[in-house]
């Protein structure tokens, strides 16, 4: 791969965002503007139905290109966030043309030739270009969880973890948010409303749904299995015991998780809070008021994993609970992908 250089003589990759008109793609564009990623060319790519749309990035107007006709040989790194079926079809085309792909779908996460990366946890995976030409971005609920598990494992060791997620409508992108808004209005309009939910069944308005993704023969859902398999791979702990119930809630953005962790050694709460608070880009809401806690409404758009309700169980000094909230479009998707690219540039891998 030959990279052109920017005005200061540094390597500056040619970047493509596939799924640029979606929720995660739009967040990637925001991050380019906020974090100052250097690039020599930027291509915004989507399906043919979105081709021709105009989007502005750093004051420059770009026309969205159709993936069906896009030439990936123009690209050094391609962010894919257009859905699993799109990645399965077009990522091989991109890698064959020489692009390094950072993929935000389930398509390649468990591929043994593809690293699954959270830069705060396993950045060593970015020391070399992967054999597959793909770096996988983990599930939106796995990312904040493993960032905390890493610190706990390093200090006390983990016997097992039990997690309940409370996942926002934006986990399904713009369509999920729109359906939540429309179904909420329909519910307020009364029982005579003829609104029929398409993506959340039963409807999500004033409701919680203990099912995300399809059911497996085990009775768990694919979302729940993802969190187990991905946590093991990212942490390099093939026997890690994580069991999960994933729930969709009527929140626009930010996923929350209630996490129970049993360790190998007894815990001191003050030290636990200190260890969690020292992790990169983690904010512990504790301090003077033990009753402080984060919520999706209070943390808003954020690049921090927010932690609260830290408490050691009364019956087992080796176990504790915590509550976490993280912006699923940023930390759970676009920001993690973006930080992968930043790390690659810093390491000279890209």
Is 246 annotated in the active site? no
Cβ–Cβ < 8 Å for 227, 246: yes
The pLDDT of residue 288: 63
Which is nearest to 21 in space by CA: 174, 182, 124?
Answer: 174
CA distance to 143, 153, 235, 279, per residue, from 157 (Å): 19, 4, 12, 16
Sort strands 255-263 and 319-326 into parallel, antiparallel or unpaired: antiparallel
| Tokens 């991905």 sit on residue | 230
**CA–CA distances in Å: residue 189 to residues 42, 50, 307:** 45, 33, 37
> How much of the chain, in percent, has pLDDT values that exceed 70?
96
Task: Please state, in angstroms and as integers, the Cα–Cα distance from residue 12 to each residue in 9, 125, 255, 340, 346, following that order.
Answer: 9, 21, 34, 15, 12
- pLDDT tens-digit readout, 140-160: 999 999 999 999 999 999 999
pLDDT at position 349 over 90: no
Give me the pLDDT at residue 17, please: 98
Relative to beta strand 282-284, strand 305-312 is: parallel
Q: How far apart, in whole angstroms, are the C-alpha atoms of residue 102 and residue 13?
A: 14
pLDDT the model gives residue 193 = 73
Per-residue pLDDT, 291: 74
Q: What is the pLDDT of residues 180-222, one digit of tens each?
A: 999 999 999 987 677 889 999 999 999 999 999 999 999 999 9
Work out the pLDDT band at 286, boundaries 50, 70, 90. Answer: confident
Secondary structure of residue 3 in the 3-state scheme: coil
Tokens of 23: 């929720």
Which pLDDT score, from 0 to 100, does residue 42 have? 97
Mean pLDDT of 15-40: 95
Q: How far apart are CA 178 and CA 48, in angstroms?
A: 22
Classify residue 23 as exposed, middle or buried by CB count within 10 Å of its CB (0-12, 13-18, 19+): buried
Mean pLDDT of 108-117: 98
The DSSP letter of residue 69 is: T
Section 342-346 average pLDDT: 94
pLDDT tens per residue, range 213-247: 999 999 999 999 999 999 999 999 999 999 999 99
pLDDT band for 2, please (50, 70, 90 cuts). Answer: very low
- Of 43, 140, 246, 263, the catalytic one is 140
Give me the residues paired with residue 205 across strands: none
Mean pLDDT value across the chain? 94
Query: What percent of the chain lies above the pLDDT cut of 90?
Result: 89
Q: Would you state the pLDDT for residue 3?
A: 42
Say which DSSP state 116 is in: B
Cβ count within 10 A of residue 88: 14
pLDDT at 57 exceeding the cut of 70: yes
Nearest alpha-carbon partner for 163 in 122, 206, 220? 220
pLDDT value at residue 153: 98
Question: Does residue 173 carry a pLDDT above 80?
Answer: yes
255 belongs to the catalytic site: yes
Three-state secondary structure call for residue 287 = coil
Task: State yes or no: pLDDT of 5 exceeds 90.
Answer: no
pLDDT reported for residue 259 = 98
Which position among 255, 263, 285, 306 bears the catalytic label? Answer: 255
């Amino acid at each position: 791969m030959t990279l052109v250089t920017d005005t200061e003589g540094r390597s500056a990759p040619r970047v493509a965002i596939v799924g640029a008109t979606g929720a995660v793609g739009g967040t990637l564009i925001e991050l380019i503007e906020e974090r100052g990623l250097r690039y020599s060319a930027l291509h915004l790519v989507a399906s043919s139905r979105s081709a021709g749309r105009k989007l502005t990035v750093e004051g420059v107007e770009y026309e969205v290109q159709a993936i069906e006709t896009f030439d990936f040989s123009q690209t050094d790194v391609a962010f894919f966030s257009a859905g699993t079926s799109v990645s399965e079809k077009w990522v091989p085309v991109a890698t064959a043309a020489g692009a390094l792909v950072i993929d935000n779908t389930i398509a390649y996460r468990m591929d043994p030739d593809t690293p699954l990366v959270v830069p705060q946890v396993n950045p060593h995976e970015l020391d070399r270009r992967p054999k597959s030409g793909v770096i996988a971005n983990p599930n939106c609920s796995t990312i904040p969880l493993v960032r905390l598990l890493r610190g706990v494992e390093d200090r006390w060791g983990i016997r097992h973890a039990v997690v309940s997620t409370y996942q926002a409508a934006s986990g399904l992108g713009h369509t999920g948010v729109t359906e939540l808004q429309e179904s909420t209005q329909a519910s307020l309009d009364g029982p005579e409303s003829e609104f029929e939910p398409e993506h959340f069944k039963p409807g999500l308005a004033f409701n919680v749904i203990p099912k995300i993704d399809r059911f497996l023969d085990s009775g768990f859902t694919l979302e729940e299995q993802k969190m187990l398999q991905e946590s093991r791979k990212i942490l390099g702990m093939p026997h890690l015991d994580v069991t999960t119930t994933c729930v969709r809630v009527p929140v626009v953005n930010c996923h929350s998780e209630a996490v129970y962790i049993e360790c190998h050694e007894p815990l001191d709460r003050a030290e636990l809070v200190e260890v969690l608070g020292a992790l990169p880009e983690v904010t512990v809401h504790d301090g003077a008021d033990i009753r402080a806690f984060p919520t999706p409404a209070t943390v808003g758009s954020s690049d921090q994993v927010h932690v609260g309700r830290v408490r050691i169980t009364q019956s087992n000094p080796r176990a504790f609970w915590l509550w976490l909230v993280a912006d699923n479009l940023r930390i759970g998707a676009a920001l993690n992908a973006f930080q992968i690219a930043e790390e690659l540039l810093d390491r000279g891998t890209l």
